[in-house]
Chain A
Amino acid sequence: MIHFVLLQNRQGKTRLAKYYAVYDDEDKRYLESEVFRLIVSRPKEYTHFVEFRNIKLIYRRYAGLYFIIGCDINDNELAFLEVIHLFVETLDEYFGNVCELDLVFNFYKVYAIADEIFMGGEIQETSRTVVLNRLAEIEREE
């Protein structure tokens, strides 16, 4: 099960934080900075998996942004690595060659996309097309 999905830039600013397990507010702040410190210190050639507290972090870096998933120790690491890529591809297609500023100014849309791909700590949808169509429908509804 996914415990959280985080998106942080190289300065450690959180751009998206989606929690599926229970953490209180203070703990979230603490966790975000702890995760950041842990991941930013790892050189590129290290594994993309690192154990943290009693969960496992799967992360991938795209330019200046870290996409991080915290999952159970026994989960399939490589699959989550692919999900991160799927998420990024979806963002890329939605914003059209996405950059960090898109995510800052449209953070609520990023949350909406995350809600289409993940739900309750599970992967909900694996097709980019379905996600994008759905978002377009919702925007029309508004």
Chain B
Amino acid sequence: MAFNKLRNNVSQVNRGTAIGVCADLFMSHLKDFIREIRACKTAAEEREVVARESADIRTSFKDMKCKTRDRNMAKLLFIHLLGYPAYFGQVETVNLIASSKFHEKRLGYLALMVLLDEQQDLLMLLPNTMKTDMASPSNFMTALALVALGNIGNSEMIRDLSSELEKCFRHSHAYIRKKATLCAVRAIRKDPDVADQYAPKSPQYDQLVPTAVRALKSLLLSNYSSQHDVAGITDPFLQIKLLQVMRVLGRGNKAASDLMNDVLAQVATNTDHRKNAGTAVLYECVQTVLSIEAEPVRMCADICVCCVFVCRKEGGVFVCYRKNAGTAVLYECVQTVLSIEAEPALRVLAVNILMRFLARNDNNTRYVALNLLSKVVTLDKPTVQRHKKIIVDCLNDPDISIRRRALELTYALVDATNCRHLVTEMVDYLGRADAEFKTDLTRKICIACEKYAPSKKWQLDTIIKVLSTAGSYVRDDIPSALVLLISQTPTLHLYAAQRLYAALYQATHARVAAVAGAAAPAVSGGKQEEQQPPEETLTQVAIWALGEYGDLLPTEPFELNPHAEGEPQVAVGPAELVGLLEQIIRLPLTTAPTRAYALTALTKLSGRFTDAPVLARITDLIAAYRTDITVELQQRACEYGAVLGASAGVLRQALVKRMPVPDLTCPLTRNTEEDENSFIEQFSEQFSE
């Protein structure tokens, strides 16, 4: 329909309705200017024209007697629309609004809404003019002021004008009353305290229920009205609003809910779901049914009948839904959600249908289906559970909106029985996920592990994997959760040390190779140095673990890569361990904090090992940093040097002892700030002990 002939047919544009000589002149000037801009061949040329015109406009604004203010303002608005600065016109908007001519006033209000926002001080100049306009006998003036107030009014403005606004509630024109109400909505949104001023004194909301029900019913039963009809549905927008209102009124209110049951069932059964507008209404209807205390048996009986009917008889709908996207599917979702309290067999059937749609290749419907499913999942996990494969497959959809929904749903599905499978899927997905998802995803994986992991060992493996795949995206609480997990589980000490040694070994060797590679062609070097290397977090946790539990390593040989077949087992002695740490310290890409961790780890290890050559090497390594340019490292090296020195004596053994096990819960499952404070307090208490 519209816009199908986008030809540069300028002459076609000149068909505006003629409204007086003045307006004609105004329009022809504006059009000439727009034409001039459009005729520019290059951006530089356009900038030049705009700069010249802006200068002219600016001068003309200074001249209070200028007769062409309206025209200049219109040009300025166009300039602003193109993305050029137009702040110098802000004061002029106030002048235009104060004008007695209607078209100037109208343009002034328009400019006000475009050029200013509610935070600007300039708005303080307005209330007096607006007061006069709102009280004006002409409802056009009143409307202009109300629109401005409703769109950019801040709470002070609305307070200043509240008495005029209240008068507008009783205006003879319904059009004005509607605008005034929307202004009040804005006022309440800005400042909930003023709600009393505009709402009835004592809440008699129950009385509204029959009104809403009646209104909705009349919409459903009304004959075709061309004014409000959207795809055969009478004013779906109003229906949606009414359903939303009913949701608020019916929540936790049995009597009100009973009144609504009938009309909700009517909406559910009579709305034509093959049209977008219909599905929108149904979508709202389901949400309402879900949140009020609807009478489950009767509602669901209706719905189930419907559902079966649709499945059997209208099988064709499923095939042709592509044409009117977002139709049958959503209806099915609706059915599904509704039938949650129905017979289990039917419920399964409904979810099955939903899943069939989800597996198909369409767009909006799938999105809404996933959206609704994540609501279903909180009420009925097992049924959705059976189809987790399809949902997990949606993680690979090319459309980011679908991926996001699928991810949320996958997370919601995780429980103790399927943790192993779903979390593995999520970790797999982590590798190819969009960067913006990763932080959130790593957190979700770790929380899921914390809650449902089948074993601590598995949890440890998973978190290590998360850190090695998306180390630079994790927030601080994940490494601390890992550290906590290791230190609180004594049986895992050796295993953790082994796995982290392996991870560190591989990461370090990869980096050594990268450094060697970058030195030769020097192609990818620049970008890597800017970012923190992805395994930084993992490196730090590993270094910590090796410092604490590294002495356990020599007790048992292990495989560096447990997943590869036939990997020879390696025995890691004190010399290898210290060698690896040394390698990390010496790598040019290692950051100062990591080096500091490594120095601490070395100091700790010095208390556990007794080989003289190893101890000598540690002492040398630490001594080398006494003159480092980083103050932090220098200080640590000096302090640790003193600890290692002979003078420390007995004190040394106490200092390099294992950290006491912190008596804390996982930082991921705690979330309030209060807890964070107590975390610090607890730590400081432990240190003071």
Binding site for B on A (CB under 8 A): 1, 13-20, 22-25, 29, 42-43, 45-51, 62-65, 76-79, 81-83, 85-86, 88-89, 91-92, 96-102, 104-108, 111-112, 115, 119-130, 134, 137-142
Query: What is the CA–CA distance of A23 and B23 in the complex, to the nearest angstrom?
Result: 33
Check A130 against B277 for contact (C-beta < 8 Å): no
With A76-B284, A120-B185: A82-B363 Cβ-Cβ less than 8 Å: no
Stretch in contact with the other chain, from B76-84, B197-205, B496-504, B623-631 = B76-84
Check B404 against A100 for contact (C-beta < 8 Å): no
Q: How large is the interface on B (under 10, 10 to 19, 20 to 34, 35 or more residues)?
A: 35 or more
Check B2 against A92 for contact (C-beta < 8 Å): yes
**Residue B347 is within 8 A (CB to CB) of chain A in the complex:** no
Check B230 against A108 for contact (C-beta < 8 Å): no
Check A100 against B227 for contact (C-beta < 8 Å): no
In the complex, chain A residues whose CB is within 8 Å of the CB of B240: 76, 79
Tell me the total A-B contact number using a CB cutoff of 8 A. Answer: 187
Check B364 against A49 for contact (C-beta < 8 Å): yes
Give 18 new A-B contacts, CB below 8 A, not counting A101-B13, A129-B227. A14-B81, A16-B81, A18-B113, A25-B85, A48-B364, A51-B400, A62-B3, A82-B276, A88-B2, A101-B6, A101-B8, A105-B30, A111-B113, A119-B147, A120-B182, A120-B185, A125-B178, A142-B102
In the complex, chain A residues whose CB is within 8 Å of the CB of B178: 124-125
Check B13 against A102 for contact (C-beta < 8 Å): yes
Query: What is the CA–CA distance of A48 and B228 in the complex, to the nearest angstrom?
Result: 24
**Residue B179 is within 8 A (CB to CB) of chain A in the complex:** yes
In the complex, chain B residues whose CB is within 8 Å of the CB of A105: 13, 30-31, 34
Q: Which residue of B lies closest to A92 (CB)?
A: B2
Check B114 against A99 for contact (C-beta < 8 Å): no
Q: Which residue of A lies closest to B148 (CB)?
A: A115
Check B9 against A101 for contact (C-beta < 8 Å): yes
Check A101 against B12 for contact (C-beta < 8 Å): yes
Stretch in contact with the other chain, from B14-22, B304-312, B418-426, B481-489 = B14-22
Check B118 against A22 for contact (C-beta < 8 Å): yes
Q: Which residue of B lies closest to A74 (CB)?
A: B287
Q: Within residues 99 to 146 of chain B, which ones have a CB less than 8 A from any CB in chain A?
A: 102-103, 106-107, 110, 113-114, 117-119, 138, 140
Check A126 against B238 for contact (C-beta < 8 Å): yes
Q: Which residue of B lies closest to A137 (CB)?
A: B140
Interface-centre pick from A24, A137, A139 (highest chain B CB count, 10 A) = A139
In the complex, chain B residues whose CB is within 8 Å of the CB of A22: 117-119
**Residue B339 is within 8 A (CB to CB) of chain A in the complex:** no
Q: Identify which of A18, A48, A98, A129 contacts B3 (C-beta below 8 A).
A: A98
Q: Identify which of B77, B103, B117, B186 contacts A120 (C-beta below 8 A).
A: B186
Q: Is the interface of A mostly helix, strand, loop or mixed?
A: mixed
**Residue B93 is within 8 A (CB to CB) of chain A in the complex:** no
Check A126 against B34 for contact (C-beta < 8 Å): no
Q: Identify which of B102, B186, B401 contacts A141 (C-beta below 8 A).
A: B102
**Residue B479 is within 8 A (CB to CB) of chain A in the complex:** no
Q: Identify which of B31, B83, B283, B326 contacts A29 (C-beta below 8 A).
A: B83
Q: Which residue of A lies closest to B275 (CB)?
A: A82
Check A86 against B230 for contact (C-beta < 8 Å): yes
Check A64 against B19 for contact (C-beta < 8 Å): no
Check A122 against B140 for contact (C-beta < 8 Å): no
Q: Produce 1/0 per residue, B579-593, CB < 8 A to A.
A: 000000000000000
Q: Within residues 208 to 236 of chain B, which ones have a CB less than 8 A from any CB in chain A?
A: 226-228, 230, 235-236
Q: How far is the CB of A48 from chain B (nearest CB, A)?
A: 6
Query: What is the CA–CA distance of A142 and B23 in the complex, to the nearest angstrom?
Result: 8
Q: How far is the CB of B68 from chain A (nearest CB, A)?
A: 16
**Residue B669 is within 8 A (CB to CB) of chain A in the complex:** no
Q: Which residue of B lies closest to A122 (CB)?
A: B182
Q: Produce 1/0 per residue, B8-43, CB < 8 A to A.
A: 111011011101100100000011001000100000
In the complex, chain B residues whose CB is within 8 Å of the CB of A76: 240, 280, 283-284
**Residue B67 is within 8 A (CB to CB) of chain A in the complex:** no
Check B81 against A15 for contact (C-beta < 8 Å): yes
**Residue B151 is within 8 A (CB to CB) of chain A in the complex:** yes
Query: What is the CA–CA distance of A107 and B2 in the complex, to the nearest angstrom?
Result: 17
In the complex, chain B residues whose CB is within 8 Å of the CB of A92: 1-2
Q: Produce 1/0 per residue, B244-288, CB < 8 A to A.
A: 000000000000000000000000000000001101100110000
**Residue B348 is within 8 A (CB to CB) of chain A in the complex:** no
Check B283 against A50 for contact (C-beta < 8 Å): no
Query: What is the CA–CA distance of A15 and B6 in the complex, to the nearest angstrom?
Result: 14
Q: What are 29 A-to-B residue pairs whose CB atoms are below 8 Å?
A: A17-B81, A22-B117, A22-B118, A42-B399, A46-B398, A47-B364, A47-B367, A47-B401, A50-B400, A62-B3, A76-B284, A81-B276, A82-B237, A82-B276, A96-B15, A99-B2, A99-B6, A99-B12, A101-B9, A105-B30, A107-B78, A108-B110, A124-B178, A126-B237, A126-B238, A127-B228, A129-B227, A130-B227, A142-B103
